[in-house]
A and B are shown apart, each in its own frame.
Chain A
């Protein structure tokens, strides 16, 4: 973990209630796919934990949804403003176990961390198949960006059928993948857990106090004991998860 002051290079709406913010400054060491940053916003006591979507040399990109006062305030920040950010948080995705054909399943603002992951997997010579789920066409983002990375397939699902496959991500899972990586709302994670036989990794979300392991605010039970989502996670392996089968 590192505390840095990063400058806003871009902060713009890319889909309904969905913002992309590009930050510049000292972002070393390079963030790992699945890690997150914790951002201080004036007027709000706790920081906002947001997963890293992309990182490249001196820029770090996050995509966040406007869900409350804090993210609303963040969405109004202008280019050039400086943010107090804790970087390098969390235990990200492990790409060493993916095999040749990795399936990436994202739901809503669970999609962003999978972008950096896709980039990493493709750079390691692996085939990436992406399934990106949204509620409706106006919320869809990053379909083209995943394609541009060189993903073998990018499937968009919407609950109302206004774009791509009508239904949930689990209605559009391709076959023949060796491993999966997923991030999204918990009901989606549970559905993925039940739908796929292969091993995989899940990224979890929880309300956090500190984001760096001190407060025990985000603890969950796992097969291997109590884990802090912020430091032992947010990524947990399928075999660590207390069964969702029933």
Chain B
């Protein structure tokens, strides 16, 4: 086993020519690259659980994060769904926020400049839409913003009607969104996939074929709770997206399968709550790892994960996280 050197899956079409990028990768054990962009560690708070970072920046220096994916952005402002939008369940929660956001104009004119005051790194822009035009328009606008390092295109929101997930539940529309967005973006485009499908691998492959620079998975799993005393669904939207530790094994298996089937980097997420979960995700094939619901329960979750990573790596004899990407697939 020793001496068997596996090529880490960094998503680079070729090894970095850029000496600085290569150096930064070697410079620290937690360093990884995502679609060619270096990250000081693979920990990325997931869209919808971190706002635009401000609430967390009051608690700790969020520059310790790899980056973060900001609240899903649409072309027009959205109120989202009626409340209740949140329900609890065993080892997790349901949300049906429904993409509340101020719209791309305000995100660019207000939120991103404000973010610059406490976050010095490139940020991941999460985009949602209700038509192909929406996706193209919003991605093109955000791609032009210097602060944006990656676009994460959400074709998998389970909580909106007539858009969102409907683009991500079969290969053809997912590929259409991908190629349309790729035509207008210079920055890496990561397609965020839904687990609410028969075969996530075929959709990931379709996105890859359409030019995606990466895929991220999983978005939330559709679920519901019923208010027994009221005899009706607890959420105003009736159904919501399940997240939290309950979904971790599901997410891990999907990351494992997708990572084995595509050459582009996979961003793993779903129930990740501690440094060990990050390592499992990476061993399943994730090049970077998003942390979602954990931020809501413990606002310091990502900070704790980043700080614990070196210690956990030590315990398992891991020198460089980039060495373990997909290792569990090699048996």
Point out the residues of chain B lying under 8 angstroms from A244, CB to CB.
Answer: none
Q: How far is the CA of A206 from the CA of B59 in the complex (A)?
A: 24
Task: State how many angstroms separate the Cβ of A209 from the closest Cβ of chain B.
Answer: 5
Q: A207-B83, A217-B85 known; A47 and B97 CB under 8 Å? A: no
User: Number of residues in B with C-beta < 8 Å to the partner?
Assistant: 34
Question: B297–A207 contact, CB under 8 A?
Answer: no
Tell me, yes or no, whether B48 is within 8 Å of chain A by CB. yes
Question: B89–A214 contact, CB under 8 A?
Answer: no
Q: How far is the CA of A3 from the CA of B56 in the complex (A)?
A: 12
Question: B83–A220 contact, CB under 8 A?
Answer: yes
Q: Tell me which of A210, A216, A221 has the highest count of chain B C-beta atoms within 10 A of its own C-beta.
A: A216
Interface string of B273-300 (1 = CB under 8 A from A): 0000000000000000000010111111
Of A86, A218, A226, the contact of B86 (CB 8 Å cutoff)? A218
Q: A3-B300, A206-B83, A212-B299 known; A217 and B95 CB under 8 Å? A: yes
Q: How far is the CA of A216 from the CA of B95 in the complex (A)?
A: 10
Question: B56–A214 contact, CB under 8 A?
Answer: yes
Tell me, yes or no, whether B310 is within 8 Å of chain A by CB. no
User: Number of residues in A with C-beta < 8 Å to the partner?
Assistant: 26
Task: State how many angstroms separate the Cβ of A87 from the closest Cβ of chain B.
Answer: 12
Question: B86–A46 contact, CB under 8 A?
Answer: yes
Question: A215–B86 contact, CB under 8 A?
Answer: yes
Tell me, yes or no, whether B182 is within 8 Å of chain A by CB. no
Question: A221–B86 contact, CB under 8 A?
Answer: no
Question: A219–B83 contact, CB under 8 A?
Answer: yes
9 contacts between A and B (CB under 8 A): A3-B299, A3-B300, A44-B88, A45-B92, A45-B293, A215-B296, A216-B100, A217-B83, A217-B95
Give A contacts to B, CB under 8 Å: 1, 3, 40, 44-47, 70, 86, 206-210, 212-221, 226, 231
Can you name 7 extra interface pairs (CB under 8 A) apart from A216-B51, A217-B86? Answer: A3-B298, A46-B88, A206-B83, A207-B86, A209-B296, A210-B295, A214-B51
